[in-house]
């Protein structure tokens, strides 16, 4: 070692002796454990956010299932309405003439 290195080490030891070892231990713990604690806190926040997103998707799936049941009911109503209107059209087409004219065989139908 050179005399400059020895002087630097002696000065460093004197500084440590003067301020004590607690601040150095505290700083070293923060440097070593700080990133782990920070990552733990960030990970917990991400887990909470992820669980909220999962809950949102589950609620959306329930909404889609409920909408499918409503749409099925509306489809049934539409089919029944179409059948009824078809029957009404057939009855109107078959009832083009008044009853007296329908009974007369001479009347030609144009339908």
Which helix (H) or strand (E) covers residue 20, if one does?
Answer: none
Whether 85 is covered by a domain: the verdict is yes
Whether 109 is covered by a domain: the verdict is no
10-residue mean pLDDT series, the chain (111 residues): 89 84 83 91 94 96 91 86 92 71 61 48
How high is the pLDDT of residue 99?
Answer: 66
pTM: 0.43
Tokens (6 digits) for 62: 């329930």
Centre a 10 Å sphere on the Cβ of residue 102 and count the other Cβ atoms it contains.
Answer: 13
| Number of folded domains that form the chain | 1
Tokens (6 digits) for 15: 């500084």
Whether 111 is covered by a domain: the verdict is no
How high is the pLDDT of residue 101?
Answer: 63
How high is the pLDDT of residue 95?
Answer: 72
Closest by CA to 30, choosing from 21, 40, 38, is: 38
Q: Which residues constitute the domain of residue 32?
A: 3-103
CA distance 56 to 54: 5
How high is the pLDDT of residue 76?
Answer: 85
């Amino acid at each position: 070692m050179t005399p400059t290195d020895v002087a630097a080490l002696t000065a460093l030891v004197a500084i440590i002796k003067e301020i004590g070892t607690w601040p150095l231990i505290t700083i070293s713990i923060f440097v070593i454990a700080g990133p782990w604690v920070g990552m733990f806190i960030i990970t917990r926040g991400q887990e909470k956010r992820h669980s909220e997103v999962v809950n949102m998707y589950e609620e959306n799936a329930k909404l889609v299932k409920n909408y499918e049941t409503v749409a099925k009911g509306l489809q049934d109503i539409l089919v029944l309405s179409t059948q009824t209107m078809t029957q009404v059209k057939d009855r109107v087409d078959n009832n083009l003439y008044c009853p007296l004219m329908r009974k007369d065989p001479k009347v030609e139908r144009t339908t």
